[in-house]
Structure 1
């Protein structure tokens, strides 16, 4: 469900996942939760370290904000320590809020694939564990259709000899991560760049997708 749909509900009746969408949509762009003058849609993607996924999606024109968080598990309000230890079922993910008049879900999918390793099921780059695996979480039937079509197109492209293992899953509650994780690449650029480089993320992406992705 999109954040605008959540705003139509009385605040007292908002489920936790809806609150998360509203808060995420308001996060970096400074949008108040009650603002309804700007069209907003949301999408959830997992591709390993959420610091890196934020940085990659923030480059896409039409993206209003990105929020690091956890989704796909059963534990309510998980902490970073709980998720990173494994066992909660959650994945590190980003919730992308975007203006559908300026970009589209299909365009976000185009931006997503070249920024992940779709061939590895056990994690992403130097981060190993199910909590770091790649996945697309769809909010409705149209997002599911587009996500599956994009994966099929990649499979049929002949680019890879190995199977694409990125999962396509129904969206569940998205829990925003702790504040120090939000905008990490902007708040801590040197530490972020050191992590991204030593993790081998860009080297592996260049190997998979070419130097200019």
Structure 2
């Protein structure tokens, strides 16, 4: 028996509803340097709306740097984290807030026990909208803390993913990571800067 070339009314209705349904929000990315990338990954992974994080290097002159290159402090690279997030769940502004409250933005020489240029804080906006938001938030942080903010908003640069053993380091090596984090004093220092506003990876930051 030949099939009718006309669609049933129910099929037409379903097709119409599908065409009217809003498109899912595309994932967006952001890049932050905040000292040790193990800790930045750990803190930002717990932010509600963040779907993935990647540790890496950015901002220097050496192409395809390795960890051994970067720790010489001669490449100009920062340890950084590329964040993929769902803009339907968290805005870039809220992500900036989570970032600021995970670091000491007044420290120009590194973060906590990690000293040197590769451990400095910086934001690498990926478009004009992110740049404007980052610059505005940096000014507000300076007002809130009543101090000069050392964290720079820098030009977009090539992000190089770090070696596999650095990715999800805290999840794969919890004892090692927890000992490092406690010994480095990161949480104590962040709380000293931010008080109850400190974002230390203890619970999600809601959008």
If the length of structure 1 is used for normalisation, what is the TM-score?
0.80
Other-structure match for 1:103: 90
Other-structure match for 2:189: 204
Offset, 1:78: 0.3
Other-structure match for 1:86: 73
Q: Distance in 2 between matches of 1:39 and 1:139?
A: 15
Q: Distance in 1 between matches of 2:31 and 2:55?
A: 10
1:166-188 per-position Cα deviation (integer Å, ceiling 9, x unaligned): 00011200000000000001001
Offset, 1:211: 4.6
Pairing partner for 1:57 from 26, 44, 51: 44
Q: How does 1:168-183 map to 2 (within 5 A)?
A: 168-183=153-168
1:84-106 per-position Cα deviation (integer Å, ceiling 9, x unaligned): 11110100000000111111111
Offset, 1:155: 1.4
Q: Distance in 2 between matches of 1:211 and 1:186?
A: 26
Other-structure match for 1:142: 129
Which one has more relative contact order, counting CA pairs under 8 Å at least 6 apart? 2
1:62-87 per-position Cα deviation (integer Å, ceiling 9, x unaligned): 11100000000111110001101111
Pairing partner for 2:104 from 90, 113, 117: 117
Unpaired segments ≥5 residues, structure 1: 1-36
Are the aligned partners of 1:57 and 1:63 in contact in 2 as well (CA < 8 Å)?
Answer: yes
Are the aligned partners of 2:25 and 2:88 in contact in 1 as well (CA < 8 Å)?
Answer: no
Where do 4+ consecutive residues of structure 1 move more than 6 Å? none
Q: Distance in 1 between matches of 2:45 and 2:25?
A: 18
CA RMSD of aligned residues (A): 1.4
SS at match of 1:195: helix
Other-structure match for 2:141: 154
1:1-51 per-position Cα deviation (integer Å, ceiling 9, x unaligned): xxxxxxxxxxxxxxxxxxxxxxxxxxxxxxxxxxxx772110000000000
Unpaired segments ≥5 residues, structure 2: 1-23, 199-207
Pairing partner for 2:149 from 164, 167, 171: 164
Aligned pair count reads 176
Q: Distance in 1 between matches of 2:196 and 2:41?
A: 20
Point out the structure with max Rg over C-alpha: 2
SS at match of 1:115: coil
SS at match of 2:154: strand
